[in-house]
Amino acid sequence: MQTRLHEMKESALGQISQVTESSQLQDLRVKYLGKKGELTELLRGMGSLSPEERPVVGQLVNEVREALEAAFSGKQQAFEQAELSAKLSSQTVDVTLPGRPVPAGTMHPLSRIIEEIEDIFIGLGFEVAEGPELETDHFNFEMLNLPKGHPARDMQDTFYVTDELLMRTQTSPVQARTMLKKEGKTPLKMICPGKVYRRDDDDATHSHQFTQIEGLVIDKKIGMSDLKGTLLTFARQMFGENQQIRLRPSFFPFTEPSAEVDLQCFNCGGDGCRVCKQTGWIEILGSGMVHPRVLEMAGYNPEEVSGFAFGMGVERIAMLKYGVEDIRHFYTNDVRFLRQFNRG
Amino acid sequence: MKVSYQWLAEYVDLSDTNPQELAEKLTRSGVEVDAVESRNAGVSGVVIGYVKERSKHPDADRLNVCVVDAGQGEDLQIVCGAPNVDKGQKVLVALIGAKLPGGLNIKRSKLRGVESQGMICSAKELGLNDKLLAKDQQEGIMVLPGDAEIGMDAISYLGLDDYVLELGLTPNRSDCLSMLGVAYEVAAILGKEVLLPQIELNENGGDNPLQVKIEATNESYQYNGRHFTKANIASSPQWMKNRLMAAGIRPINNVVDVTNYVLLEYGQPLHAFDAAQVDNRSIIVRLAGEGEKLVTLDDQERTLDAETLLIADPTKGLAIAGVMGGANSEITGETTEIILEAAWFTPQTVRRTARSLGMRTEGCVRWEKGVDQTRVEEAGERAASLIQQLSGATVSKGIAKAIVKEATPAVVSVSLQKINQHLGTSLVASDVSPIFDRLQFPYEAANDTWTVTVPTRRGDITLPEDLVEEVARLYGYDNIPTSLPSGSATQGQLTPEQQLRRIIRHHLIGAGLNEAISYALVHPDRVEEVSGLHQEAVKPISLLMPMSEEHSVLRTSLIPSLLQTIAYNKNRQNQDVGIFELGRVFLTAEEALTQLPDERLYVAGALTGQWLPPNWMGAKQPVDFYQAKGVVESLLARLGIKAAEYKATAELAGMHPGRTAEVWVGEQRLGYLGQVHPGTEKAYDLSETYVFQLDVAQLITVSAEVGHYNPLPKFPAVTRDLALVVDRSVPAGNLEKAIRGAAGSLLESLTLFDVYTGERIAEDKKSMAFALVFRHAERTLQDEEIQQVTTAVIEALKNDTGAELRM
């Protein structure tokens, strides 16, 4: 009997290993382990064994059963695995095909620069102020120490709408309006982004409409060193933490002293290149200490408070930052241009 | 202002600097140098020669064979094609091996068989600016005066070894519109002295016969007249020509050149008259009569008005004061008797006249910026001495003078404390005094306060702050420390309105649109083309003097700009465009503007072509009304705006009458959306284009913050689908309204999930399928309840819209 068990085990294992289809495996299972299977039949013959033989054979039967069960389930798993693999393989997609399109818009480069600058100055405690684009001569010029007939008005050829109303040539009137609104209170820290207009023929470097951001700080004991520090902080946040700035004396009717501010060329790092015309520096800002007459007209006592102001052209910064060579690109809105400003 | 470096070196010792270094120093201390240019455009190996012989070329009619002594030991044989070359001339000779501008190298050559050992040059060939050449030097070879030294290098003879510093002056630094003004600035920067010109005048004639009278006395004019006889009008010496040309002025003759030279040197405009043409040798400064005419030096007849200041004799006008002389008293080759004017007029007078006549001479520029009145006489005497020196004129004794008011220098005080506070520095008195010394500003110092008598050449300094700036720029902006404002802290943040504006921008970008920015100034035809949002208040606002009609009127709607952008893109093969703009429009009800218009911020969008980019799945989605509406709906949802209503309208100019809706919330009209009228599309050459335009301020007023959340439901919902058949003309909104009205508070949501027209239903009908979701917050709904509500809904649909359940 023991011999037969061994023989059966060998034969069954041999057959299982030969099976190629799941249904054959099922048939074999019935043949050996089914109710009328060979092993069951053998067990029935246990009764004829001696009491000494019975436990030995019993154990052997169990061993054979376990071995067969293990062989069956191993084979079964192999079949299932193969089936799954076949199924998955049939489901393969070409991962290099493009995905289903989701329309994605873009922010105008000028808006990007404005938002970036706004956020930097908000972080420094500035508020964002706004004012009309169609202004009075009074706010656009006179409140900024540019009385009628002042030669510096030539610097800003103006679109007049009537004798007293005009398209603002700068965002500075917003400073004047904000100062008046403050009624002499300090501290005042503001920036004012916005569109401005000048009588220029549109070409690669001129636009009759462009964008400025100006800033103003008024408080007790504000000195030119504060202007330098604030602009350096701004330059480093905007253009990189190792940035350097350089101030050069200049003239604006509404500041005294006045300064042009140069940024170390971000293209060459100051070594000199085409972008900075070999100087290592790029002019990006006009600035200065607020002229005492401007303070006075806006309701501040220049003996008690002082302030600084600065202004920059958004297009110029965008042109430098993105290498745009023609200012008209910002206003013709060719979608092939706009779509390039896709990050953020 | 163009500054000759060599000329400048006459007034300031420049021996320890160079043009580039000086330019940098000037720029860093407040006088910007735009460019430093060498006067030599690439000349070498050119010397002065003497034409000893000239003969015709044996084989060429137009060529001459010259024998030239160029100081080279042996005479040179040079073939020259210029018709004006002749024996006895001093000329410029490019020797073998010479280099000329434009890469021309002179080699030994044969011209029609005759050897040529060099080239006789024209001024142009040496790279001299054509416009600055005297008329007789513009054609042919350049013939030099007889005293030119044979063999001398042309570079030094013509001053081509000089550099020109081109200053980009700000309006306050008109003092640097003169060589001496620049010299004072350079001296201050370098810590050097200013060497003033030596004036040597020999009054070798009789008494000055000139009578000068100022009749227009309401301004502080001054008029000095010098008188000369026996002048010999001729060409100026080369050194003067070189300097004038370096400054960009064309030499004319010795007298006119002197007036220009001193204009450059002192910044003082001068004028010379042919005294023989001045009646009674009498000069009157008066206002012109209205309509009085004068032919000016440029041969133009000018009609003057009664505010024009005129220089006249008793019978006629001679010159427009400060602007231009008259042709009737011009210095000519025959002139021998001369009147030299050195005068002072107010900047406003000259500026106004120059403007009204549309003239802008070198003199005008200086008058407008302010001429230093205290130097009028000195400049006049300098010019007189040069005229005498160059023309050999006899100078009459004395200056004929008339003066209304002398100039008085400003006195300005500034304290050390003010300087330090304003600059954030810690200077001491011994830092500041040397700066005023270097500027040659006389001052009295006491108690750390300087009381400065400002030289009249620096008319820009009137306030303590102006002195602070002088200190700052000469102390060096680089030396000012760096700090941050130390006062009380401020909170920086966007206003709620500014935040919402950003949300609008970012949402539309996320929704797939490209942000555009267009011009606020548009063509007048554009204004009325497509309706704005506030038509009742729109009167177009025009510029007084536009640059072009294209940009002459302020926009009242953003749509035309966006349509132009779409058209621009279509012309460049960008057919599929979705753009939006946040921008202001300018609204007024006034016919003629007397006050600021209402500037309203609109947000508008325009969509055309395919919404989806081309893709391999072949999925296409041409933009249509519902695409535009989807964008608007999602924007309103983002702003927390619920219960917006879309009302069909056929009334909006430029919009499709059957495909346009106004967007309402309660009583507020937020804007509109729809298809552009096919007629307008055609006018712009557009394909089907859909637009929307909304008023941002109104969006913001109805925008709602996220409030308390709704607790999540504990009881199940029940869904009922209703398929309805209704007349095609009935809007879906009516059905929705009827359903919501009848369903009451149990209705949690309502979704239209199918619209069908076609074969399976009657031709004038459409089928619409709604999913109704019911829920009660506190219990499970019973079938009977839902049945009851559904019945009521069906009833209401039938009564209100004629809709029937689809069987």
Give the CA distances from residue A152 to residues A141, A149, A259, A288, in Å, rounded to whole numbers and listed in that order. 10, 9, 16, 16
Read off the pLDDT of residues B434-446 as tens digits, 9 standing for 90 and up. Answer: 999 999 999 999 9
> Are β-strands B90-100 and B44-57 bridged in parallel, bridged antiparallel, or unpaired?
antiparallel
Q: Which residues pair with A260 in a beta bridge?
A: A248, A286
Share of chain A above pLDDT 90, in %: 60
**Residue entry with tokens 């440029």:** B298
Question: What is the rounded (10 degree) CA torsion for B174, B180, B184, B185?
Answer: 50
Q: Phi/psi class of residue B440: alpha, beta or left (left: φ > 0; alpha: ψ in -120 to 50)?
A: left
Alpha-carbon distance A174 to A128, whole Å? 10
pLDDT at A8: 83
Set of chain B residues whose Cβ sits within 8 Å of the Cβ of A247: 477-478, 480
Degrees, nearest 5: CA angle B490-B493-B497: 140
Residue B509 to residue B151: CA distance in whole angstroms: 75
Q: List alpha helices for B584-704, DSSP H.
A: 625-638, 678-684, 696-702
> Which position has the higher pLDDT, A211 or A101?
A211
Please check whether residue A145 is in contact with residue A154, taking contact to mean a CB–CB distance below 8 angstroms: no
- Lowest mean pLDDT of A260-264, B135-139, B351-355, B582-586, name the range: B135-139
Of all residues in chain B, the percent with pLDDT exceeding 90 is: 79
B508: buried, middle or exposed (CB in 10 Å: 19+, 13-18, 0-12)? buried
What separation in angstroms does the CA of B524 have from each of B528, B531, B550, B627?
8, 14, 8, 31
Q: How far apart are CA B694 and CA B487, in angstroms?
A: 42
Q: Can you give the pLDDT at residue B462?
A: 93
**B521: nearest CB among A208, A217, A332:** A208
Give residue A17's pLDDT band: very low, low, confident or very high (50, 70, 90).
Answer: confident
pLDDT at B355: 84
Q: Is the pLDDT of residue B614 over 80?
A: yes
Tens of pLDDT, residues B515-531 = 999 999 999 988 878 87
Largest CA distance in chain A: 134
Instruction: Give the 3-state secondary structure of B231-277.
Output: CCCCCCCHHHHHHHHHCCCCCCCHHHHHHHHHHHHHCCCEEEEEHHH
The pair of three-digit structure tokens given for residue B724, joined into one six-digit string: 């309805």
Q: Which residue has the higher pLDDT, B650 or B537?
A: B650
Whether residue B536 is predicted with pLDDT greater than 80 in this model: the reply is: no
**Which residues of chain B lie closer than 8 angstroms to A233, CB-CB?**
484
DSSP code for B573: T
Flag whether pLDDT at A43 surpasses 80.
no
* Shortest CA distance from A210: residue in chain B: B519
Quote the pLDDT of residue A170.
Answer: 94
Rounded mean pLDDT, B314-325: 93
Chain B (515-534) residues lying within 8 Å, Cβ to Cβ, of chain A: 515-521
B482·A154 Cβ contact <8 A: no
The contacts of residue A141 (CB under 8 Å, 6+ apart) are A147, A148, A150, A153
Out of B422, B490, B512, the one facing A187 most closely (by C-beta) is B490
**Is residue A344 very low, low, confident or very high in pLDDT (cuts 50, 70, 90)?**
low
For residue A154, pLDDT beyond 70: no
Q: pLDDT tens for residues A293-304?
A: 999 999 999 999
Over range B643-657, report the average pLDDT: 91
Distances (CA, A) of B460 to A151, B33, B171: 12, 20, 9
Query: Among the residues of B370-440, which ranges form H helices?
Result: 376-391, 416-423, 429-438
Cis previous bond, B314, omega within 30? no
CA distance B546 to B373: 39
Q: Do B597 and A124 touch (CB under 8 A)?
A: no
Q: Closest partner residue to A338 among B27, B473, B514, by Cβ?
A: B514
- Length of chain A in terms of residues written: 344
Residues in chain B: 807
Q: What is the DSSP string of B320-360?
A: ETTTEEBGGG---TT---EEEEEEE--HHHHHHHHHHHT--
CA dist B287 and B310 (Å) reads: 6
A109-341: CATH architecture? 2-Layer Sandwich (3.30)
CA B445 to chain centre: 43
Of B770 and B362, the one with more pLDDT: B770
Q: How far apart are the C-alpha atoms of A208 and A167, rounded to whole Å?
A: 11
Contact B630, B512 (CB under 8 A): no
Tell which of B21, B480, B508, B561 to mutate to test the A interface (max A CBs under 10 Å).
B480
Secondary structure element (H or E) that encloses residue B229, with its range: strand B222-229
Q: How far is A318 from chain B (nearest CA, A)?
A: 14
Chain B residue closest to A255 (CA)? Answer: B465
Q: Which residue of B has its CA nearest to A135?
A: B596
**pLDDT value of residue B671:** 95
Q: If pLDDT is split at 50, 70 and 90, which confidence band does B288 have?
A: very high
Considering only the beta carbons, identify the residue of B483, B488, B596 that sits closest to A229: B483
**Which residues, other chains included, contact B191 with Cβ-Cβ below 8 Å and sequence gap of 6+?**
B438
Q: What is the ipTM of this complex?
A: 0.87
What is the average pLDDT value for chain B, to the nearest integer? 92
Per residue in B717-742, pLDDT tens?
999 999 999 999 999 999 999 999 99
Between strands B211-214 and B282-287, the pairing is parallel
Are A249 and B611 in contact (CB < 8 Å)? no
Q: Which of A267-276, A295-304, B130-139 has the lowest mean pLDDT?
A: B130-139
* Whole-angstrom distance, CA of residue B570 vs CA of residue B685: 9
Residue B530 has a pLDDT of 82
| Residue in A126, A249, A330 nearest the CB of B477 | A249
- Give the residue from A75, A297, A47 showing the smallest Cα distance to A172: A297
Measured CA to CA, the distance from residue A112 to residue A101 in angstroms comes to: 25
Q: Domain locations in chain A? A: 2-90, 109-341
Instruction: Report how far residue A124's alpha carbon sits from residue B483's, in angstroms, rounded to the nearest whole number.
Output: 13
Query: To which H or E segment does residue A236 belong?
Result: helix A224-239
Chain segment B13-60, per-residue pLDDT in tens: 999 999 999 999 999 998 999 999 999 999 999 999 999 999 999 888
Q: What is the pLDDT of residue A156?
A: 62
Would you state the pLDDT for residue B739? 95
CB pairs under 8 A between A and B: 259
- B729 sits in the region (left: phi over 0; alpha: psi -120 to 50; else beta) called alpha
Backbone angle region of B56, left / alpha / beta, with phi > 0 → left and psi within -120 to 50 → alpha: beta
State what percent of residues in chain A have pLDDT above 70.
98
Q: Chain B closest CA to A38's CA: distance in Å?
A: 57
Fill in the DSSP letter of residue B621.
-
Q: How far is CA A143 from CA A140, A160, A178, A297, A298, in A?
A: 7, 17, 12, 6, 7
Q: What is the mean pLDDT of residues B267-281?
A: 94
| Predicted local confidence at residue A20, as pLDDT | 85
DSSP 3-state of A255: strand
Instruction: Give exposure, A164-183, as e/b (b: 16+ Cβ within 10 Å).
Output: ebbbbbbbbbbbbbbbeebe
| Mean pLDDT in residue range B194-210 | 94
Q: Which residue has the tokens 């002229």?
A: A291
Chain B segment 453-472 residues within 8 A of A by beta carbon are 463, 465-466, 468-469, 472
How confident is residue B803, by pLDDT bands cut at 50, 70 and 90?
Answer: very high
pLDDT band, very low/low/confident/very high, at A274 (cuts 50, 70, 90) = confident
Per-residue pLDDT tens over the stretch B51-80: 999 999 988 888 999 999 999 889 999 999
Range in A41-55, B332-346, B764-778 with the lowest mean pLDDT: A41-55
Helix (H, G, I), strand (E, B) or coil at B529: coil
Across B600-615, average pLDDT: 93
pLDDT at site A155: 59
Q: How does residue B537 score in pLDDT terms, banded at 50, 70 and 90?
A: low
Chain B residue at shortest CA distance from A343: B509
Is the distance from CB of B76 to CB of B91 less than 8 angstroms? no
Cβ of A225 and B519 within 8 Å?
A: no
The predicted structure's pLDDT at residue B164: 96
Residues of B in contact with A291 (CB under 8 A): 465
Identify the pLDDT of residue B678: 95
pTM of this prediction? 0.84
